């Protein structure tokens, strides 16, 4: 619940930024100077890119949550039983050791969103966030294909 509150706050701040940016761009476009009009049109691009990023990331989060709920219902969600340091971080050696099984599972069935989702979670537990995100994006793509 705490995470959802933070996400909501960040989205609200981002929307405020987008509205302010859009307003500034419109004011520039309304100015009499030609260079101001050019700046205004160029400034419209930033809020549009921001909206696209916001929608893409929110959909990514919603889809990964839906996938996790499906895995949980099927009894396939990896257990959160890796040893942790006093700080709460997962012990890297244990995560690396557990990672091997999920990598082998994904290599054996690369077309399964389930195995890729589990591999992404293993990457995340091992601290490799960029690969976790890339693999999760592939899993989401396969999941969406499955839903059709």
The dotted CATH code for 92-147 is 1.25.40.10
What's the pLDDT score for residue 74?
96
| pLDDT band of 73, cuts 50, 70, 90 | very high
Tell me the domain boundaries of the chain: 2-61, 92-147
C-alpha 67: how far from its chain's center? 13
Which percentage of the chain shows pLDDT scores above 90?
Answer: 70
DSSP string, 103-131: HHHHHH-TT-HHHHHHHHHHHHHTT-HHH
> What pLDDT band is residue 112 in, cutting at 50, 70 and 90?
very high
């Amino acid at each position: 619940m705490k995470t959802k509150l933070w996400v909501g706050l960040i989205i609200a701040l981002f929307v405020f930024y987008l509205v302010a940016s859009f307003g500034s761009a419109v004011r520039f476009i309304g100015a009499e100077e030609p260079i101001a009009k050019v700046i205004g049109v160029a400034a419209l691009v930033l809020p549009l890119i921001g909206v696209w990023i916001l929608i893409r990331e929110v959909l990514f989060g919603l889809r990964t949550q839906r996938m996790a709920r499906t895995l949980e219902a099927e009894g396939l969600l990896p257990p959160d039983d890796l040893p942790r340091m006093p700080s709460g971080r997962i012990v890297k050696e244990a995560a690396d050791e557990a990672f091997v099984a999920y990598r082998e599972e994904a290599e054996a069935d690369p077309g399964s969103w389930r195995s890729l989702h589990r591999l992404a979670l293993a990457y995340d537990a091992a601290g490799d966030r960029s690969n976790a995100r890339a693999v999760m994006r592939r899993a989401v793509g396969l999941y969406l294909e499955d839903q059709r």
